[in-house]
Amino acid sequence: MPRTARDVVFVDGVRTPFGKAGPKGLYAETRADDLVVRAIRELMRRNPSLPPERVDEVAIAATTQTGDQGLTIGRSAAVLAGLPKSVPGYAIDRMCAGAMTAVTTTGAGISFGSYDVVIAGGVEHMGRHPMGEGVDPNPRFLADRLVDTSALVMGSTAENLHDRFPGITKERADAYAVRSQQKVAAAYAAGKIQPDLVPTAIRSVEKGYGLATTDEPPRPGTTLEDLAKLKTPFRPHGNVTAGNAAGLNDGATACLLAAEDVARELGLAPKMRLVDFSFAGVEPEVMGVGPVPATEKLLARNSLTMDDIGLIEINEAFAVQVLAFLEHFKIADDDARVNPWGGAIALGHPLASSGVRLMNQLARLFAERTDVRYGLTTMCVGMGMGGTVLWENVNWEGAK
């Protein structure tokens, strides 16, 4: 029997506070699976009208799927979170776009009619599992000259992007990074970030038990003078530093998606509507440019231009990657549409979890900006990819 595509909505999203990776970070003694379980439980607690048995799938992403990030983490997290044993789950890996892919894949399943309600998200504990742990790249990548050696080091790909866009200087990247820190500090002061955060129990050998309630990575008060002093570890006299790039971080995200008619039947209030998504490949050596073709494909398919987009949440893996996107689309570095509450340079980027953080922030911005109809969440992806998701504000005043 022919099926009619259904509208898919983003109902709710949460995340743990993000921590710094390493032995002194927030989550040094916390398991990765416990982080994502905390997010799932909070998502269910915040939506009491949703019967747990109505969840049709749990899709959780992790880039390094080993140890406490392995064991088909979507299924294991569902069981640990107390969902009925009848709820299946699976794991996803698209590096930085893991959680984004969890959303687009399960969202497509909802549209097709295979699911009514799903939980999608991601987790990355870069302190326990550094990016590349246990990876054995095929020697043909280099022997057959399929990629340059720099393609396997994300910081080096960012330096390559500076070469590709010579107008993006270190000073310009640093200025963008300072604005990200300033915007996050202002958003925290205004109480914009906190509603997404799930207080998470932590344990330290030195300090005992505690509760993480705020993000650890932000560095309020960062100045251009501070950033100018930092080393450029990926190239002598280069442009990429720890100050104009996202750090190494731990954290988890989870969101609730549903068919729009089912959401309303269950008394769930949609925050935004999934319109379309696109992924694209680029040269791995300049993976940061990935959001450009992904966004171009998406806008063209939906007969839209960047002028139709009122909000843009772009992951700040590196300042140069964001600036390349803005330069391509002729958007000013300080355009008010772009990351109004700051981004990953300040908040952190626990790889596979970040896609849903972008969506959480866009959903909250939509609630305040009923004048905006369309928004994007977009990010670059290791090994030369980009992903972009187009969302519609369900509270857009033009629809009334």
Residue type, 290: G
What is the C-alpha to C-alpha distance for residues 292 and 327, in angstroms, rounded to an integer?
10
Instruction: Please give the helix or strand (H or E) that residue 156 lies within, else none.
Output: helix 154-164
Task: Please answer whether residues 118 and 109 qualify as being in contact, where contact means their C-beta atoms are separated by less than 8 angstroms.
Answer: yes
HSE-up of residue 273 (Cα within 13 Å, Cβ side):
14
Burial code of 273-299, b = ≥16 C-beta within 10 A, e = fewer? Answer: bbbbbbbbebebbbbbbbbbbbbbbbb
Residues 6+ apart with CB under 8 A from 280: 290, 293, 294, 296, 297, 385, 386, 387
Neighbours of 142 (CB within 10 A): 14
HSE-up of residue 36 (Cα within 13 Å, Cβ side):
35
Q: Is 255 a catalytic residue?
A: no
Cα dihedral value 321, 326, 328, 331, nearest 10 = -170
Q: Which of 384, 3, 53, 27 is nearest to 217 (CA)?
A: 27
List the catalytic residue out of 96, 125, 129, 162. Answer: 96
Regarding beta strands 249-259 and 89-92, do their DSSP bridges make them parallel or antiparallel, or are they unpaired?
unpaired
Q: Is 349 a catalytic residue?
A: yes
Residue with tokens 């970070």: 25
Q: Is 162 a catalytic residue?
A: no
List the catalytic residue out of 125, 129, 162, 349. Answer: 349
Task: Please answer whether residues 92 and 49 qualify as being in contact, where contact means their C-beta atoms are separated by less than 8 angstroms.
Answer: no
Active-site residues, by number, are: 96, 349, 380
